[in-house]
Structure 1
């Protein structure tokens, strides 16, 4: 089969700009774009969130991907802390992950932005312990570091609060 006959799924970049909403609670802005011609998904995420490539105090991290029923592939990015905290955001009072039906069916029936935000927070909590560059950026904001410290260090699965 020639490459001219291969269908290419459209790529969508989704950004969850995460911020502490007070007392360890989180809020997020949900942003969506498509990469411009010649633009990588990372570049599209930074453009969408208005984060320069050399930012030292903002983490831009690819956290997940999913296939949508309409054929799109959605690449999800966490941006933390939100570089525009004055803009309206959606409260995330109790982060909950979406789950599939079982070990051989990992895709949840529905994935909403709040599920992606919960998953992204798990990634950031893990990276706080395991990635020196991410740790340096996140600990530059003590409120963000403290709120992440209360979360389980896991990229997926249960989202318990550490005691």
Structure 2
């Protein structure tokens, strides 16, 4: 199996997840930031795409990438300031799946990621604060070792069925 990990990471949170995904993948594999996509994706059997949420959906780099993954088997993973089970987090992952409509999504994973003080200050100053803002304090220190272990376990299970 030849695999590719693509990720967009603003603060390093999604990069932590991408490194775990890369470590779990067997066989020939490559890892790239989302803005360094290989010219051709045809040779890859499995593509894992990591992103952060921007305005309740995947960041702009990932938004442009996901529609290009038609006919591929993919795994989506994300970090966000919102609580994992929140409507905001669920809607963000649903938006990613919709953008990747031509691909076969084998699984998804998301967890909170620590939000920088600069972003928190800017979000709090908005006339209508974003829905994730009240969850953001609980994101401090995430992704943590428990998040990474859960990702490792979930992806291993998916790959065993693949």
TM-score (ref. length: structure 1): 0.28
More helix by share: 2
Larger radius of gyration: 1
TM-score (ref. length: structure 2): 0.28
